[in-house]
Structure 1
């Protein structure tokens, strides 16, 4: 039986997938980041068996969280963390933010989000395919990121 990694290892595993091609984050394109995130998303972790215990989020929009407005694709893995009794305590999110700056083509995309949950009966590959068939993906994948950030937060 293969042992699943713990949630505490998630950031390091995502960073490892991003570095798999031996390139610096600054040298990665949108498609490189997406493929790394999908490899990370296929890996199963030691988490709660709740239907929302392990989810992937694809979202984009123009945001100004910590500076001027920037079009951002946020690829997130969310884990439900339970207390000693097995009850929900909080969520841990591991983010891979891909920032692009601004421009009319990006701003015209508006905002969007889509969730995938392991153990919910959906197919990860189908979810990924549907996202890359969005017209917005055609625009985003041709733009060079200005920054890629990986971090985790408790929510």
Structure 2
């Protein structure tokens, strides 16, 4: 087991990063949420010592999961949970979901996803930089989300 806070603390820790990332009285912008998510993503957690037990997901697209179609940027941290024998049991995903008002520039982005796993030897800063260097980031970074949701789900 790797050392760090328990997975049960993840939502509160992400919410704390989001609160500390915004200027006093200001709404949370896309860039603020991204930087808060990266701070959260750097924090080690108590996860099993198995491959891909702790991953970050950056994904966006227009979806109609629980109402009208909405463009969503979903920043997710996924933790693997193992049973008492050390075998995979399930995943816990902590989402920071940014939903945007409908504008043609967002619909034109289509959909995209990219994963980062802590145990691969890849560089988190290089992964993050690669995402913000994509042309879509100029569109996302210029807009403020209409809604931000933080939640946990079991997958």
What is the TM-score of this pair, normalised by structure 2?
0.95
Of 87-96 and 14-23, deviating more is: 14-23
Cα separation, 2, equivalents of 1:30 and 1:126: 19
Instruction: State the distance in 2 between where 1:137 and 1:22 align.
Output: 19
Displacement of 1:101: 2.2
C-alpha displacement at 1:104, in angstroms? 1.0
Cα distance in 1, alignment partners of residues 128 and 24 from structure 2: 24
Say whether residues 1:37 and 2:34 are aligned partners: no
Cα distance change of structure 1 residues 23 and 72 upon mapping to structure 2, 3 Å threshold: same
Indicate the SS of the match to 2:119. Answer: coil
Q: What is the distance in 1 between the residues matched to 2:115 and 2:55?
A: 7
Which structure 1 residue ranges, 4+ long, deviate > 2 Å from structure 2? Answer: 21-26
Provide the rounded CA distance (Å) in 1 between the counterparts of 2:104 and 2:21: 32
Q: Deviations over 1:18-65 (max 9, x none)?
A: 011465898100000000000000001010111210000000000111
Q: What displacement does 1:102 show?
A: 1.5
Partner of 2:89: 89
Partners in 1 of 2:16 and 2:121 — Cα distance?
Answer: 28
Give the equivalent residue in structure 2 for 1:79: 79
TM-score scaled by length of structure 1? 0.95
Structure 1, unmatched stretches of 5+, are: none
Aligned residues: 153
* C-alpha contact (below 8 Å) 1:76/1:94 kept by paired residues: yes
Structure 1's 9 and 100: CA in aligned 2 closer, same or farther, altered over 3 A? same
Alignment correspondent of 1:120: 120
Structure 2: tracts of 5 or more residues without a match = none
Question: Which residue matches 2:105?
Answer: 105
Matches within 5 A, 1:6-17: 6-17=6-17
Which residue is equivalent to 1:54? 54
| Superposition CA RMSD, Å | 1.5
